Amino acid sequence: MAPTLFTPLKLGRHTLQHRVVLAPLTRFRSDEKAVVRPFVTEYYAQRATPGGLLVTEATFISPTAGSYPNAPGIYTQEQIAKWKEVTQAVHDKGGVIYLQLWHIGRASHSKFSPNGEQPVSASAIAIQGKNLWGDQQQVPRALEILDIKALVQDYRQAALNAVEAGFDGVEIHAANGYLLDQFINTSSNKRSDIYGGSIENRARFALEVVDAIADAIGPDRTAIRLSPWSGFQDMQDDTPYETWGYIVSQLQAHQPELAYVHFVEPRIDFRSEALPDTTDSLDPFRQIWKGPFISAGGYTIDPKLAFERSDKSGDLIAFGRAFIANPDIVERLRNGWPLNRYNRKTFYTPGAEGYTDYPVYQPEAQPEVPKPSL
């Protein structure tokens, strides 16, 4: 009998043929206009398989959504046109591809904004330390309610743009310390209005985004990513089980037809090669959500955990670093072939090195058996 990881699953409007997923991975390979470069098409096509799900790198919903240098957007016609080349290449190989929608909130910096705008967040609380470019993190401006309502519409329009670009659906990035996650966590949200304080209020923005996108493109093309224990970018919540349990309960009650929910596994250190944390567990959320459930985090270190997790709970398993280094990871896992080692130094560099040049597996040639003489 085939392992669950290699059994079909209905997800949104598609039936997947296996449960190995490309995790959303920021790679900084776009141009100065946030347009994906030509080799981005090759990168995703290399990793596409018949009935396999790919989730793109996080993609800005608007020009003021953060604007990290060389990260892509989905808010101009030029961006949409280039993404169409990506989706067509993936579809030509029978793959399914979702676009991850992104607003980075207080993780931004005024030097990256079109007009030097101050970063925004739930509250005027800065991330401690410096960003990837060595700049001290700035104190953000707390969003007004009218600002939040406008951002919900930005997410909605970005989802419509993604469908125009040929994507099969979108994944809302509400994890890892970016804008929606900044509203969810108590460490970054000290508001006293309808978007702060109680769990219901802190979850409101993310749930409004889900509702707006589901209304625009259909719930079966809408998904969300969440991370109760990432700790990245100063994220911490006082009651993670209750907070994310409420979010998933609301999704199950009001948007049960969502394509999937995507959770980051608890890990000892989000930024290291640590195995999953055995103290905390996503199981309570799995018990609430009745649809497809994607689990990410720690599977690169020990791929056999992917088989165990999928067999136990039916999860789809998202691979990040291992999928970077192994464009043919689906067949490597299926056949027990060894994995290439990734090169961390090229994760965020601008060129093709460490991006489209990882080799596929080549079985050793078997010695030719001499033909019997007549």
258-278: per-residue pLDDT in tens? 999 999 999 645 454 554 556
| Beta-carbon contacts of residue 304 (< 8 Å; ≥ 6 apart) | none
Who contacts 362 (Cβ-Cβ below 8 Å, separation ≥6)?
none
User: From the candidates 44, 68, 155, 178, which is the catalytic residue?
Assistant: 178
Average pLDDT over residues 328-346: 96
Distance of CA 305 to CAs 47, 204, 211, Å?
21, 34, 34
User: Can you tell me the mean pLDDT for 230-255?
Assistant: 96
Domain ranges of the chain: 4-346
What integer pLDDT is reported at residue 267 of this predicted model?
67
Nearest Cα residue to 266 out of 254, 255, 275, 257: 275
246 annotated active-site: no
Q: Which amino acid is at 84?
A: K
Closest to 106 (Cα-Cα) out of 233, 253, 195? 233
Q: At 83, give phi and psi (nearest 5°).
A: -65, -30
Shortest CA distance to 91 belongs to which of 39, 146, 54, 36?
54
**Residue 372 clears pLDDT 80, i.e. is over it:** no
Of the chain, the end-to-end C-alpha distance in Å amounts to 43
Tokens of 119: 């970063």
pTM: 0.94
Distance CA 2, CA 323 (A): 22
CA 269 to the chain's CA centroid: 18
Q: Per DSSP, what are the bridge partners of residue 314?
A: none
Which tens digit of pLDDT belongs to each residue from 274-320?
A: 545 567 999 999 999 999 999 999 898 889 999 999 999 999 999 99
pLDDT digits (tens, 9 = 90+) for 25-69: 999 999 999 999 999 999 999 999 999 999 999 999 999 998 799
**β 20-22/316-319 pair status:** parallel
Helix runs in the chain, H state only: 38-47, 77-92, 145-164, 179-184, 199-217, 240-254, 283-288, 304-313, 321-325, 329-335
| 243 alpha-carbon distance from chain centroid | 20
pLDDT in tens, 204-237: 999 999 999 999 999 999 999 999 998 899 999 9
Burial 282-295 (b: 16+ CB within 10 A, else e): beebbebbebbbbb
Residue 30 burial class via C-beta count within 10 angstroms: exposed 0-12, middle 13-18, buried 19 and up? buried
Class of domain 4-346 as given by CATH: alpha beta
If one counts every other C-beta atom within 10 angstroms of the C-beta of residue 264, the result is: 23
The pLDDT of residue 214: 98
Does residue 369 register a pLDDT over 60? no
- Number of C-beta neighbours around residue 117 at 10 A: 14
